[in-house]
Structure 1
Amino acid sequence: MSHGKTREDNNCLNCGHQVEERFCPLCGQENIESRHPFYYLFTHFFEDFTHYDGQFWGTLKNLLFKPGNLTNIYLEGKRQKFVPPVKLYIFVSFITFFMFALFPFNINFGDRKDTKDPDKLGLFDKATTSEVKKIIDSIKAKPILTKEDSISIKSMSVLTDPTQESIEEKLQMDKKIDVDINYGGYNTRKSYDSAAAKNPSVLDFIELPLAHKFFELKEKGVTKAEIIKNLTEKSFHNLPKALFIYLPLFAFFLWIFHNKKKWWYFDHGIFTLHYFSFLLLNILFVFLLAKLANLSNVGFITTLLYLTMCALLIYSIAYFFIAHRRVYHAHGLVSMIIGMMLFTINFLAFMFLIVGLGLVSFLMIH
């Protein structure tokens, strides 16, 4: 409820109806002063969303820790206690996109010019090096070292030796797309277009733009590292968009696998909105934890952050099965079988969508 000052007049400014208390009984508009201080523009949105009565925080608590509870309550007709599904999804999407824009997702392959400096290691190198060192120390702590132990220590020491060639160097990530690299056996756009004109294919609408982009990047002298970095960043930022596009299809698969008379497509849509709102928040949490892990120089904290990210990813999968059973009230085994089928189908379909967005992201590389 708003904290605005109540008007002295009892006529509704929206419909003109007589207002006995704070809200108009005809149109529902709050009978408060229409002119406010400037800061009201910034506080009104959050005030209206949270209602200051715990509606938003109660919704968030149920969404994160009580899978399926919000959907059950909404389908029972109790729709004033928590934030509506559509409004919740739009708000969570806004926050996610805002945070992505505020803290851009960067992929660092590591600056190997000074590999002795641990701060120069890439995003995943810190945690990996720390874990390998722990394993080596545990082997060395044995009273008697076998031949196999000695071989293991030597082989793993290579991974922690900063003077050794990195994975990025082995893959020649700093190498440009030169004349030795071709697309489909063709070194130039002209030769590729000539061959495509002679032998047209039904997939030309996909292959031609990809080939043209490849030759464009080749002419610009773009390195492998730059391509992977741009592709990863754009794909990650396109993930919330992919979820939004996939919303109706996810609900459609739910509709196929459940009783059509008992469950309407609308019901599946509500379940989908709540689950995807949870997924967006989960993606946001993983994103922020990855940022913190990249900034952390303490091995224990970095490892803990990565373990937390793994736990969140596992929870996002388990969340679906728990929510599905609680909402659709199926027998445990039946719910598990249907859940596995739905999860597999949706995973494959979503991966197909991700590949499509990956291709679009590749075409957007400059």
Structure 2
Amino acid sequence: MSGDIAAAGDIITGALAARAVEPHAGEAHGHNTALCLNCGTRLIGAHCHACGQSGHVHRTVGAIGHEIAHGVFHFEGKIWRTLPMLAFRPGDLTRRYVAGERARFVSPLALFLFTVFLMFATISAFGGEMSDTIVGPNGAQSRKDMIVQREKVRAVLAREEAKRAALVKAGKPTNDQDNDIATLRATIAGLNAVTGAMPAKSDEFSFTDMKTGWERLDHGIAKANANPGLAIYKLQSSAYKYSWILIPLSTPFLALLFLWRRRFGLYDHAIFVTYSLSFMMLLVIALIVAGALSLAEGWIVMAALLVPPIHMFVQLRGAYSLRKRSALWRTVALINFAAFVLTAFLVLLLLRGLTE
């Protein structure tokens, strides 16, 4: 239940963060001939022509809920025009936004922010915490707990054997004690088999035992090995907070593919990258939900392998008006660049987490 609440909170936070990036624009609540409550200019339409504030201002508690619902479900109505184009005509979406057609579509950054929050909320809701997946619930203590349990059973066995000896000495029947002793000995044998089959550190997750010579990093590695669950949680939180770094990391690599085409600038490439990353995160969300709905694993793996390169190819061809062969080799290069950028991003997160 707490995970579901946290996931819902993440979705709402993402929607409101995106709403801050993509403020009220193009919304009409009716016309008002009064003065603007922000700057005092006389209104001649739904919005002030001087400062842009809406002429209709909500001042009720219900308006807060309206703002949340509006942020989550509407994005000023643009989301329902943007998502289909992002999925099936990403090149057209990118080209039209760069060309200045802004009022019809959610801006790339607003969409990126919302999908980041939504992806991590989905992971939390359906996949659980990453630290639980890797370390497991009380994983580092499981073998030790089994050994402690075995010693407790041995203590009970010793008491039962003492009772049996006393009964034998008194000439009384020992049937109940014999049964209990046999059960306890079988339990101990089972615990011995399980703990004996485990290496001493089989249930203790650790990152690495290497020494880098960098004192600060070595200290961070030691702390992470001592508490891997906390280290992985911090890594997950950092990925959540710093995912926007993927945009400036990726943009220069995309620009390398168009060095001789001067009509495309860094802004064009940044818009392409941001929309592309948003789609990839939406794909991750879809695959997680598909897994939760027990869709065949083969279909999920096939989608994960085939959809990203196909989407890159379609977006490249549409956004930059490329021929098939030109878009194809750039797609291959872009896939390699994306793998490099993702690896660099993870390395930066690890270094930051281990050295802070």
TM-score range, shorter chain: 0.5 to 0.7
Task: Describe how 1:55-204 pairs up with structure 2 within 5 A.
Answer: 55-100=78-123, 104-105=129-130, 106-107=132-133, 173-175=202-204, 183-184=210-211, 204=213
Structure 2 counterpart of 1:320: 312
Contact 2:27 2:76 (C-alpha < 8 Å) held by counterparts: no
What whole-Å deviation, never above 9, does each CA across 1:23-80 have from its counterpart, x for those lacking one?
3344433211x34221211322442676586311111222223222221111222111
Residue aligning to 1:161: none
TM-score (norm 1): 0.60
Higher helix fraction: Structure 1 or Structure 2?
A: 2
The structure with more radius of gyration: 2
Matched with 1:344 is 336
Deviations 1:107-160 (A, max 9, x none): 1678999xxxxxxxxxxxxxxxxxxxxxxxxxxxxxxxxxxxxxxxxxxxxxxx
Show the counterpart of 1:273. Answer: 274
Using the size of structure 2 for normalisation, the TM-score is: 0.62
Q: How has the CA–CA distance of structure 1 residues 48 and 355 changed in structure 2, closer, same or farther, with 3 Å as cutoff?
A: closer
Higher RCO (C-alpha under 8 Å, 6+ residues apart): 2
Q: Could you tell me how far apart the structure 1 residues matched to 2:58 and 2:223 are?
A: 56
Q: Structure 1: which 5+ residue stretches go unaligned?
A: 114-163, 185-202, 294-300
- What is the identity percentage for the equivalent residue pairs of Structure 1 and Structure 2? 21
Alpha-carbon deviations, 1:3-38, whole Å to 9, x = none?
75755x432223333333323344433211x34221
Match of 1:253 in 2: 253
Could you say which residue in structure 2 is the equivalent of 1:13?
37
CA distance in 1, matches of 2:290, 2:235: 18
Distance between the aligned counterparts of 1:217 and 1:248, measured in 2?
Answer: 29
Amino acid across the alignment from 2:129: P
Give the total of aligned pairs: 272
RMSD: 3.9
Pair 1:182–1:274, CA change in 2 (3 A)? closer
CA 1:172–1:64 in structure 2 vs 1: closer, same or farther (change >3 Å)?
A: farther
Taking a change above 3 Å as real, the CA distance of residues 109 and 265 of structure 1, as seen in their structure-2 partners, is: closer
Q: Determine the structure 1 residue equivalent to 2:10.
A: none
Q: Please tell me whether the aligned partners of residues 2 and 47 of structure 1 are also in contact (alpha carbons under 8 angstroms).
A: no
Q: Is 1:209 matched with 2:209?
A: no
Equivalent residues of 1:257, 1:338 under 8 A apart: yes
Q: Does the CA contact (< 8 Å) of 2:34 and 2:42 recur in 1? A: yes
Task: State the distance in 1 between where 2:72 and 2:271 align.
Answer: 19
Partner of 1:298: none
Which whole-Å CA distance do the structure 2 matches of 1:308 and 1:339 have between them?
A: 22
Offset of residue 305 of structure 1:
5.2
C-alpha distance in 2, partners of 1:342/1:85? 19
Letter matched to residue 249 of structure 1: L
Deviations 1:72-107 (A, max 9, x none): 111222111111222222222333344455653441
Q: How does 1:279-298 map to 2 (within 5 A)?
A: 279-290=280-291, 292=292
| Paired amino acid for 1:38 | V
Q: Say whether 1:263 aligns with 2:264.
A: yes
Q: Distance in 2 between matches of 1:217 and 1:263?
A: 44
2:182 maps to none
1:320/1:49 Cα in 2 relative to 1: closer, same or farther (>3 Å)? same
**Residues in 1 aligned to 2:205 and 2:266: alpha-carbon distance in whole angstroms:** 51
Aligned counterparts of 1:171 and 1:362: Cα–Cα separation in 2: 26
Aligned to 1:190: none
